[in-house]
Amino acid sequence: MNLSVTLRIFAAVSMAVIQLASCNFVFNVTHKFAGKDKQLSELRSHDSFRHARMLANLHLPLAGDSRADSIGLYFTKIKLGSPPKDYHVQVDTGSDILWVNCAPCPKCPVKTDLNVMMLLSNSYLTFQKHFSQLVFICLMCKIPLSLYDSKASSTSKKVGCEDDFCSFVSQPDACEPMKTCSYHVVYGDGSASDGVFVKDNVTLDQVTGNLRTAPLSQEVVFGCGSNQSGQLGKTDSAVDGIMGFGQANTSIISQLAAARNKKRIFSHCLDNVNGGGIFAVGEVESPLVKFTPLVPNQLHYNVILKGIDVGGEPVALPPSLAVFGGDGGTIIDSGTTLAYLPENLYTSLLQKITARQPIKLHTVQETFACFSFTLNTDKAFPVVNLHFEDKLKMSVYPHDYLFSLRKDLYCFGWQSGGLTNQDGSDVILLGDLVLSNKLVVYDLDNEVVGWAEHNCSSSIKVKDGSGAVFSVEANNLIASSSSSSSSLVIN
């Protein structure tokens, strides 16, 4: 291997990094499809499983009256217990608890097809001019799966029904004093997770300065799963558990914020070209972000969509769009890959987009509208603008909503969703397709979400509790990481 090849490999890994930066904690996050060629069927299949859980999940309780959502597209490595042990968990902006598979668990997955990018920094290679140099070698490896064993951790504690945490997830008559607080989650696609809650230390990397971290332990409550079924145990996407970033008091962001007296704010900036970006928990100093209100008392991040235009020409919203007290019906979900619209809105949108181009659409893999095209799509097709409450606009460019399936063949990422609420009203679901290349900030305390266009392969500035501001940049942090293709920072 010559030096130029080595540098190209390292550059490819750097571009695949996703960073999570904040004033307090940092940990690495990897995209589910990292190291794979993303097939359209895989994207649609992932979203279908997720939506079956999300929409059916609107009325399914977690231990009585709390709900859980599906796993997301991103997974991270965290450390639990004393001594700390590594676990790979899905990062999910929709669910409300952290849970991992626990011993004994006869039906938990024992292997996975998910890959993680490895950087081996202690290898010396000899080049043609007979000198040795430290280089980084990129390897794709299957992530190891582990079972959490409470008996092997000196800091593990049981969570009883009398614990305050249990009151968040259980109805008063569902759990008796002196008994262990348990959970049972059933998803719309038949997947299920059962277990009990435990307390133990999670070890994260505390941000101590610009690109400097130090390990710090924090006690949290999480689910200890003893039985998983359905898609949760499938080999193609199995991990050790799920880490929820939902709005409830039981979510990992709420626990970390409460323990350290911090605001419940997190953000992400997803790079749809290189598969990486930034994921931060805590206050973002820059870029500046404008906000729109979240619809209150919803399980997901629902916002109020006021209108859509294509290159300045309005597209009528269907009257069947779901409403919450007269507003709402649009869900923002970073765990979904594409963007799903009611059928009539989907048809109208594509007609507006293609009105000025003589293209012939044909269907690929039964659901994707595709066409042949040899010109610059950003110049040939219009920008789609989504308008939300409080005059917040989200612009979706052709390079965002079009996939290049192969040379000169493009497909639309807009999908005819057919997604409905419990009352049969339509739902719009906006996934990574529209969220990419934007810094999206969720402020749970103020019940708002906002965004700003941003280069997600660059840096953001975050503020810690003392008011100090640090710059976080993905390409810089990976040099000190030994096993990740992306990073996530937590406040």
How many other CB atoms are found less than 10 A from the CB of residue 253?
26
Q: Which of 47, 69, 92, 432 is catalytic?
A: 92
Q: Is the backbone of residue 24 left (phi > 0), alpha (psi -120 to 50) or beta?
A: alpha
pLDDT in tens, 313-331: 999 998 877 665 555 689 9
* Sheet containing strand 402-406, strands side by side: 362-364, 368-372, 409-412, 402-406
Q: How far apart are CA 308 and CA 321, in angstroms?
A: 13
Q: Residue 398: is the preceding peptide bond cis (ω within 30°)?
A: no
Q: Which residue has the higher pLDDT, 87 or 333?
A: 87
CB 337 within 8 A of CB 432: yes
The candidate with the shortest Cα–Cα distance to 207, out of 25, 467, 451, is 25
Query: Tell me: the pLDDT tens digits for 187-204?
Result: 545 677 889 999 999 987
333 is catalytic: yes
Give pLDDT, residue 6: 26
Residue 378 is a catalytic residue: no
Q: Which of 163, 194, 200, 333 is catalytic?
A: 333
> Kind of pairing, strands 192-209 and 74-80?
antiparallel
Range(s) for CATH 2.40.70.10 in the chain? Answer: 21-55+70-115+142-283, 288-453
Mean pLDDT value across the chain: 74
What would the two tokens of residue 318 be? 């269907």
Q: How confident is the model at residue 244 (pLDDT cuts 50, 70, 90)?
A: confident
Taking the domain 21-55+70-115+142-283, which CATH number applies?
2.40.70.10
| Mean pLDDT lowest among 28-32, 225-229, 452-456 | 28-32
pLDDT at 445 over 60: yes
Mean pLDDT of 139-154: 85
The CATH superfamily assigned to 288-453 is: Acid Proteases (2.40.70.10)
